Amino acid sequence: MPIAIVDYGSGNIRSAAKALEAANKNLKIVVTSDPSVIKKSDKIILPGQGSFRDCYLGIKKINGLIDALNDFVLFKKKPIFGICVGMQLFAKVGYESKETIGFGWIDGVVKKINNINKTLKLPHMGWNQIEFKKDYMLFSGIENKSHMYFVHSYEFLTKQKDCIVATTNYGNSIIAAIAKDNIFGTQFHPEKSQKNGLKLLKNFLDWKF
């Protein structure tokens, strides 16, 4: 079965597909919005670029896609990797533009980064270090405090501390990666993070869950 990148018009599909192909040339990577293909896939990548609301509504517009994703993640319990807003969509609700429900796979919310005394530039854009909060197999072979590439103005907030795998610092501590069972996501863009990003994608593709 292929590895599916969910195409719902989020904008960064091509670079994600190229990075996955570079990470493992032996696997079949498909870009699709077809719920039946997604259900049959071994793993899926959920990218995201733009606002939380636009991304969720983009998914909602495709008939059967929300049901297919819930079936894949909650019932079949197959691995999913959410990138940037794709990770944010794991939350219960997002507050970008207008309050919008998310998938609710992880008990969290998405809010604007706290711009302390208006001293921070938003979006948080460029290279920043990540700090591991626990050992996690998908970061195998990647050194703690490695640099990853970020582009975001909103952050994922959760009281489920056991789901926080890595953080970064931008005025405050910001969640950089979360995980819960078969669900994994990063606020940074692995497809733009060069060697470390490719290693992370390879680890996900090799993941035996």
Q: Average pLDDT for residues 80-106, to the nearest whole number?
A: 96
Given this model, what pLDDT does residue 46 score? 96
Q: Average pLDDT for residues 124-136, to the nearest whole number?
A: 97
pLDDT digits over 166-203, tens only? 999 998 999 999 999 999 999 999 999 999 999 999 99
**How much is the pTM?**
0.96
Q: Say whether pLDDT at 1 is over 80.
A: no
User: How many structural domains does the chain have?
Assistant: 1
Given this model, what pLDDT does residue 154 score? 97
Nearest to 81 by CA among 169, 19, 144: 19
Round to whole Å and give the CA distance between 177 and 183. Answer: 11
Torsion region of 104: left, alpha or beta (phi above 0 gives left; psi -120 to 50 gives alpha): left
Tell me which residue range forms the domain holding 167.
3-206
Active-site positions read 84, 189, 191
Output the domain CATH number for residue 64: 3.40.50.880
Q: Say whether pLDDT at 72 is over 90.
A: yes
Given this model, what pLDDT does residue 15 score? 86
pLDDT digits over 16-66, tens only? 888 888 888 788 899 999 999 999 999 999 998 889 999 999 999 999 999
* Tokens read off for 52: 């939380």
Q: How confident is the model at residue 115 (pLDDT cuts 50, 70, 90)?
A: confident
Alpha helices in 138-193 (DSSP H): none
Query: In degrees rounded to 5, what are phi and psi of residue 166?
Result: -150, 150
Q: How confident is the model at residue 80 (pLDDT cuts 50, 70, 90)?
A: very high
Q: How many residues does the chain have?
A: 209
Percent of the chain at pLDDT > 90 equals 82
**b/e per residue 172-188 (b: at least 16 CB within 10 A):** eebbbbbbbebbbbbbb
Q: How confident is the model at residue 140 (pLDDT cuts 50, 70, 90)?
A: very high
